[in-house]
Amino acid sequence: MENGFVDCHCHISAHEFEEDCEDVIQRTREAGVKTVVAVTEAVEEFARVLQLQERYPDLVAPCFGIHPLQAGGGPQQRSVKPQDLDAAVPQFYNHRERLVAVGEVGLDFTPWCAPAQQDRDDQMSVFIKQLSIAKELDLPVNVHSRSAAAVTIETMRGQGVSRALLHNFAGKPSVALEGVKAGYLFSFPPAVCRSRQRDKLIKQIPLEHICLETDSPALGIEKHVRNEPRNIVLPCRYIADIKGVSSETVQLVTAQNAYRLFPKAKTC
């Protein structure tokens, strides 16, 4: 099982994959990906991710989560509101046996997405509620933390969360090291290869706390080109280069880290 890649954060249920999902899955397997940890952003996606697990039970490891930003029926994203979580809560409990994590959850304090204090308060209330569900169901969390790295880690520690993946982490190395102390893991998508901005961060986080992700269909090597799970090889090579170790080492250690964090993904 551990001789392949684990894509720790992927939106395989996104509409961008509906047309050619079978081909995408085939390319994923050919690239050596053994597990795709499939996160959701809204309750409308929950059924789709379960269908994908039924279709590809040895590959797709489902998560349920309500993202801190919601589409709001239009092109503009808006901050999540407590009522966005209402329909989701019973589903977490109904499908608890099939879930490997609660995610994608978190905080996004980007000014144009959360312009008012009320937006941040609403996000925090939804985040804390989902952290408490994760603890109750004994599941790890798959976490988004844009423009909110320190407060996200602080909140999780305050809520007694011990198992978390901070995906596409872009906070300061000093903040990341607080997360390392708490036992959290950090994952990086192909987009990190576009610039050298996160080299220092990746260098300072121990390899035992790093996972690989694609965040497909977003965060690929080219900004406006659809990303796929097969591109997991790109951050693997990039991290290997920064750490001065082989790609095989990064592949092996990140997969072990992933299965340690998401033990139920092993049996998917």
- pTM for this prediction: 0.96
Q: pLDDT grade, residue 83 (50/70/90)? A: very high
Average pLDDT in the 211-236 region? 95
Residue 20 has pLDDT above 50, yes or no: yes
Residue 208 has pLDDT above 80, yes or no: yes
Residue type at 115 in one-letter notation: P
Q: How far apart are CA 266 and CA 232, in angstroms?
A: 18
What's the pLDDT at 1?
41
Decide if 256 contacts 34 (C-beta within 8 A).
no
Residue 71 has pLDDT above 90, yes or no: no
Share of the chain above pLDDT 70, in %: 97
What's 130-192 look like in SS3? HHHHHHHCCCCEEEEEECCHHHHHHHHHHCCCCCEEEECCCCCHHHHHHHHHCCCEEEECHHH
Residue 6 parent element (H or E): strand 5-10
Residue 41 has pLDDT above 80, yes or no: yes
Taken in order of first residue, the domains within the chain and their CATH numbers are: 5-267 (3.20.20.140)
Mean pLDDT of the chain: 95
Share of the chain above pLDDT 90, in %: 91
Average pLDDT in the 226-246 region? 97
Low-confidence winner among 54-58, 127-131, 158-162, 218-222 (lowest mean pLDDT) = 218-222
Instruction: Give pLDDT tens digits for 101-124.
Output: 999 999 999 998 899 999 999 999
Runs of H (alpha helix) within 42-116: 46-55, 82-86, 89-94
What's the pLDDT at 267?
61
